[in-house]
Amino acid sequence: MADEPFIRINPESLRTFQRSNLNRDTIFTLLKSVAQVETSGCWAGVSDNFDKQLISSGVLQWNYGQSSIQDLLVGFRRSMGTQFSAFVTTTMPRFGRLVFSDRCLGLTPRGEAHACSADFLDPADQDKKKLRNGLTEEMTALFEHNEMIQIQMDRVMAVMEKTLDFSKRLFGEQFVNERNFHWMLDIIVQQGGFDELEKFKEASDHGWAYATSRDLAHKKMTARGILIWYAGHATSPHQGGLDCDWRYNIEKWAALIKSDQLDDDRFRLFLMSWVRARTASGENGRWQALAFERRAKIGLGIGSVGGSSAQRNNNYDCKMPTPSDMAAMMLSLQP
C-alpha cells in the first residue's frame, strides 16, 4: 500500500493533525506500520475464519464477526452507482451478488454465526476456517479497487481522529508525538481503544510511581518483572502469535533493561503496554502477550511481531519454547 494522488483527506482534518506536528506523510507512515501487522502491508489482506471472524479484509481488518465490514460494502455499492453491476459482473462473477446481497450485508447476531457463514466457508474443511475457492481472490480485488481504497481511507481517518483525541487526553496535548500516537493507534486498531481512559491512566500512573519511587535498580527490577510476565506467557499453553518473536524480544528487551539506555519516555510506554495488554480478553486472554509485544515494540523502538523486527534482524526460527530454551531464557532475565 502507498499514498496515491486519488486518495482524498479532508483538509480541516489534516490541519488538526498538523497542529500536533503530524502531517499526511506521518499518517501514511503509521498506517503502513499498522498494516504491516494486520495485512502484511496490503490494502486487502483477506483473512479466513482462523480467528472466528468469518472473513476479515482491508487495511484495518474489518470483518463479519464484529459486523464492521458491512458498512464498507454498503458504502462501496452506493459510491459505484451505475458502475456497480458491471464491477460485479467483471470482477466478482462468482461471489459478488452473494457478498452484496441483503442477507450477507446483515449484521452478525451476538453469539451466533453470520447468516452467510455456510455460503462463505469451504464445506470440505471440517475445522470451518478456510474460505471457498475463489472468494479470497474476489474479495482482494474488491478491497484493492480505488473506490474501496478511498472508503477505507475515510474510515482510517475517523480512527486516526479518535487516536489523536485519546493521545491528547492520555499524554497531554503538548506531549503528543509520532511514537506515542503510533502506540495509541495500534491499541485502537487491535483493542478498540479505552472504555475508561481515566482508570487506565490512574493504573499506569500508579505503576509509574512505584517503578520510580526509589533508585535505578528498582526501575530496572520493575521493567524486568514485566518482561518475566511476557516470558511466562511465551512458555504457557494458551498464548497465540508468539512463536516467531519470543526469543528475539526477550533477548533484545533484557539487554536494553540491563543497559542504561531505557529512557523514561520509552519505559513509560513499555509499562503502559503491559497494563493495557492484561485487559485483552479475546478467546479468554489468548492474545494478551501478542497485544503486549505489539505495543512494546512501538514504545521501545525495538522488538519483533510476526517475525518482523524493527531492525530487520530477527533471524530466529518460528517455534514454541522447549525446557532448554526456558533455562536459557531465565538466565538472560537475571540482573
What does the pLDDT look like over 3-38, one tens digit per residue?
999 999 999 999 999 999 999 999 999 999 999 888
Residue 135 half-sphere exposure toward CB, CA atoms < 13 A: 23
Helix, strand, or coil (residue 308): strand
Task: Determine the Cα–Cα distance for residues 210 and 212; give it in Å rounded to an integer.
Answer: 6
Whether the Cβ atoms of residue 270 and residue 249 lie closer than 8 Å to each other: no
Cell numbers of 25, please? Answer: 506523510
Task: Determine the Cα–Cα distance for residues 241 and 56; give it in Å rounded to an integer.
Answer: 17
Cell numbers of 143, please? Answer: 478491497
Q: How far is CA 144 from CA 36, 99, 147, in A?
A: 16, 16, 8
Q: Which residues pair with 304 in a beta bridge?
A: 309
How high is the pLDDT of residue 331?
83
**Which residues in the chain show pLDDT less than 70?**
none
Task: Determine the Cα–Cα distance for residues 84 and 124; give it in Å rounded to an integer.
Answer: 32
How high is the pLDDT of residue 37?
87
Where is 264: in which H helix or E strand?
helix 264-277
Q: How far is CA 100 from CA 34, 59, 74, 144, in A?
A: 28, 20, 8, 17
How high is the pLDDT of residue 193?
86
pTM of the predicted model as reported, rounded to 2 decimal places: 0.90
Give the other-Cβ count within 10 Å of 326's Cβ.
14
- Residue 7 one-letter amino acid: I
Cell numbers of 16, please? Answer: 488538526
- Residue 150 one-letter amino acid: Q
How high is the pLDDT of residue 329?
85
The vertex-83 CA angle with 78 and 88, nearest 5°, equals 90
Task: Determine the Cα–Cα distance for residues 240 and 288; give it in Å rounded to an integer.
Answer: 9
Beta strands at 304-305 and 308-309: parallel, antiparallel or unpaired:
antiparallel
Helix, strand, or coil (residue 273): helix
Give the other-Cβ count within 10 Å of 124's Cβ.
8
How high is the pLDDT of residue 186?
94
How high is the pLDDT of residue 122?
98
How high is the pLDDT of residue 239?
87
**Sequence-ordered alpha helix ranges (H) in 48-143:** 70-80, 84-91, 96-99, 117-120, 135-143
